[in-house]
A and B are shown apart, each in its own frame.
Chain A
Amino acid sequence: MFTIRVNGEDHTVDVPADKPLLWVLREDLKLTGSKYGCGQALCGACTVHVDDQPTRSCVMPISAAEGHNITTVEAIDQQQIGRLVQQAWQELNVPQCGYCQSGQVMAATALLTENRSPSDRDIDEAMSGNICRCGTYARIRKAIHKIADEQL
């Protein structure tokens, strides 16, 4: 039994200690916004915030998630910057297939929360762990700059 705090609520789940947080979120808590892309911390599709830090949930065992505050894309609109990211993403038609975008939104929200006027280099560093096979990178960069320039 493990108790984790997700989006402000405690959940107790009966799963093996090595089951990754990603699959607990998706299968046990039915929060399917976080996606599986590689299972090896290589793509960022599963990015959630653990104590506000962007984290690859596919390689974090549930046992390591206990006692931390976990935020998923489903609740990122509770944060002002999360909302701005979601709005800018829509305005600029960022998503294509959209599969990577939960992770992109989580990574971008963490970046802008930390750094309200990121340089291109900052964006490279914060966002290069997130693969987009549809190639939406240029729009993601533009959206981050737009939020920083106009709204923060």
Chain B
Amino acid sequence: MSTSGFTRRQFLRVSALAGGGLLVACGGGGGGGGGSNPNNPQPPGNGGPSDAEQFTVSEFMRIGSDGRIHILVGASEIGQGALTSMPMIVAEELDADWDLVTAEHSPVAARFNNPYFGGLLQFTVASATTRGYFDNQRQVGAAVRQMLVNAAAERWQVSADSLRTERGVVYDDLNGRSASYGELAESAANQPVPSNPPLKDPASYRIIGQSKQRKDAAEKVNGTHLYGIDVDIPDMLTAVIARPPRFFGQALSVDSNAAMAVPGVREVHTIPSGVAVVADDYWSAEKGRQALEVSWNELLAGRTDSNDTRDEYSFKLNLPGVPIRVDGLVPVAQLAAAENRSADYFFPFQAHAAMEPLNVTVDYTGSKADIWTGSQSPTLDKTFASLILGLLPNQITFHTMSSGGGFGRRGNPLADYVRDACHVAKASQKPVKVMWTREDDMKGGYYRPAAAVRVGASMDNQGNITAWTHRAVTQDVTASLYAEELLDTLAEGQLPPFKELTDLETGMPYDIDNVLMDAHLTLKPQMPSLWMRSVNKFTDVFAQETFIDDIAVSYSRDPYQYRRGMLASKPRLLAVLDAAAQAANWGSTGGGRSQGIAVLNHWMSYVAQVVELSVSDDKVITLHRIVSAIDVGTAINPDLVVAQVESAVIFALTSVFYGEIELQDGVVQQSNFDDYKMLRMFQVPQIDTVVLPSNESPGGVGELGVPALGPALANAIFAATGEKIRELPLKNLGYTLAEQHPA
């Protein structure tokens, strides 16, 4: 979004006090403590609180004398609408005129860290943006509103309590006066910052809960919205990197003569991850790379093989793992059961394949640097950049650009692509954009890790489940963090709680007395893996929810009613289950159509999904309708919440039908959208989303629609054909998708 033309003098300088103060309230420690952090200097002389009060005062928003309000957002815009929904929260408590509000990404600074991650990071993952920032954004808005009211009270010599605010104006109804926020901004800046401003009753919200148009919509349809890949700075060169065929191979010898002979190619540099060809433009760099001759040392390179991984994981399913959840006495229940059964599942590696391939632009001059990139993890990106460039964090300006999709790939705590670019910039000493082609991006690793799951259930002779077991085998996507001593690089000397990101507890929600869940987290340092939209829920919930149908059907129970019977103690889950079944006309389909249903509670949100389809004899699936019912607590912008669910449905369908990265002896087999397919327009069915009204705290939304979709679909296939789906993707089982729309 555009930066406004405000000059500093016109602004109300508003505190991030609520941000700093919130860290304390969250029990996250003094991570926001201002004075000691060079990256977050205490601006002098603006009447802010002292260090001792554990919060910082800095620019957070600007109110121009024309009443325009510009808000800096600490979360990254990756398509989910952060640059719209975050300002909505502030504007609500501020009683701003929404039409006058604009927003952009904040600088990378501690005061913009997400409280959800202990206030240690700006980190847009785990569906944690609204959940993390909600209270803090409200407090900032409320504090500034109070300052504006106090300024008006002082000007008019009346009590602040006699004034009210609406749409960017303070009203003195008794005396028939009013003043706009713009008029009051300058004097409001001199008001003390209230420490505990009153927050609104949700009943009086007028912005939160409204389906507002995205603030970035206009720029995103006329080509002016800038992504990292669009950054253009004077004298910029463009680089591509030749990488080893296997992960973590090293360049042994490089013959750059042919590459250097390509017109436009300027430099060739060997960096830790490969060999960079630096040229005047992308096309020359790419041709130079093709002409480059590199022999690789693969002694330490990764040799992961998809088939071997599957064998290894299948074997590990037989061994007890680390307990994650233990309720009751599973072995006793198993002995007493009328029936015990289990099923094994296998899931492949998958690539995020965001639409904008990775890219980073670095302008490094030796004593300072500017970095531009779409990132979900700017704090850690900047930290690594400073290590590689040998600069202090305050010598680096990190420009968080809008991301052309992220899905977790741009939230790599190891900052792989930023590190690469910094190595290139350091070697080149010139402004450089490092571009990844689609093939680079597809083959670049940091995939959703492969996983195996074994679920087991014990039933009495009525088919009631008396014990449940769930064992997952997958790769620990955070292990490398600890290995790389990331710890030391964080000023606070502690990692934020990644618990929820790596939490293998599936949230198995059913009322079952005896539960044993355990896991094997494998370490594969040579196989870069990472979280991908909904992380392990994608695999664990698939196994859990399809196995429930397996049991229900064999005891002649309706899968919807069977779940109902086990959710009596989970009213919010029950409500979405009922809402989805009702919206989908559960059980009343005809004409060879079948339905499947599945549920999930995670990220403080609830979802039930119904897939309706038919399957031909030759395994061609026609999707007819997909219904999702969700309870996300307070929905800040309901239309964007629905958009996220629609997005998740498509994302999950792609994963379930096509999603597979295959490795053969360490070499990735896929390269572009021809062999790593995406769902396309002609395959998209009717998608309906029901949002249950709620005033509860906001839950996460971005990932919510992914995990239950696969099992709902598999359950519908099971209902249609009797085939139990125990591995993904469906293309490997002979299923294809039909065209949806007859002529």
A contact set with B: CB distance below 8 Å: 15-16, 18-20, 23, 26-28, 30-40, 42-43, 45, 72-74, 76-77, 85-86, 89-91, 93-102, 105, 119-121, 123-125, 127-141
Contact = CB atoms under 8 A, between A and B. Distances in A.
Interface in B405-464: 405-407, 437-438
Contacts of B679: 135, 137
A134 B437 CA distance: 19
A93 B217 contact: yes
A131 B680 contact: yes
Contacts of B402: 97-98
Contacts of A37: 355-357, 438
Nearest to A88: B221
Contact of B356 (A35, A76, A119, A132): A35
B681 A98 contact: no
Contacts of A124: 681-682, 739-741
Interface of B (DSSP majority class): loop
B16 interface: no
Contacts of B284: 16
A72 B222 CA distance: 10
A97 B405 contact: yes
A123 B263 contact: no
Contact of B673 (A35, A43, A90): A43
Contacts of A73: 221-223
Contacts of A98: 79, 216, 219-221, 225, 402, 404
Contacts of A91: 213
B161 interface: no
5 contacts: A35-B227, A90-B214, A99-B356, A102-B221, A137-B680
B283 interface: yes
Interface of A (DSSP majority class): loop
Contact of B355 (A40, A85, A89, A97): A97
Given A27-B282, A89-B217, A141-B681, A97 B404 contact: yes
A39 B739 CA distance: 26
Interface in B344-364: 353-357
Nearest to B639: A93
B314 interface: no
B485 interface: no
Contacts of B686: 138
Interface stretch (B24-32, B103-111, B510-518, B643-651): B643-651
B404 A35 contact: yes
A30 B452 CA distance: 48
Given A35-B356, A93-B639, A134-B355, A101 B438 contact: no
B78 interface: yes
A31 B232 CA distance: 11
B282 A38 contact: no
Nearest to A62: B283
A-B pairs, 8 with minimum CB distance = A33-B223, A135-B650, A99-B404, A97-B79, A98-B220, A96-B79, A120-B741, A124-B682
A134 to B, nearest CB: 5
B674 interface: yes
A72 B600 CA distance: 44
Nearest to A138: B687
A137 B217 contact: no
Nearest to A140: B681
Interface residues of B, number: 67
Contact of A135 (B221, B404, B651): B651
A89 B221 CA distance: 7
A96 B282 contact: no
B281 A27 contact: yes
B643 A36 contact: no
Given A16-B263, A133-B651, 14 more contacts: A15-B283, A35-B227, A73-B222, A97-B77, A97-B79, A97-B354, A99-B354, A105-B221, A123-B681, A124-B741, A132-B650, A135-B646, A135-B647, A141-B684
B438 A39 contact: yes
Contacts of A34: 223
Interface in B667-711: 672-674, 678-682, 684, 686-687
B356 A90 contact: no
A131 B673 contact: yes
A38 B672 contact: yes
Given A37-B355, A90-B218, A97-B356, A133 B680 contact: no
Contacts of B79: 96-98, 134
B229 interface: yes
A95 B214 contact: yes
Given A42-B673, A74-B222, A99 B353 contact: no
Contacts of A136: 643, 646-647
Contact of B283 (A23, A32, A137): A23
Contacts of B649: 135
B640 interface: yes
A15 B284 CA distance: 10
Contact of B743 (A19, A119, A139): A119
A124 B742 CA distance: 10
Given A97-B79, A134-B647, A32 B230 contact: yes
B403 interface: yes
Contacts of A31: 223
Contacts of A127: 681
Contacts of A130: 681
Nearest to B626: A138
B365 interface: no
Given A90-B213, A95-B217, A99-B405, A131 B355 contact: yes
A10 B220 CA distance: 26
Contacts of B221: 73, 85-86, 89-90, 94-95, 98, 101-102, 105
A138 B684 contact: yes
B232 A30 contact: yes
B466 interface: no
B680 A99 contact: no
Contacts of B77: 97
B490 interface: no
B494 interface: no
B640 A99 contact: no
Contacts of B219: 98
A33 to B, nearest CB: 2
Contacts of B160: none
B222 A33 contact: yes
A93 B214 contact: yes
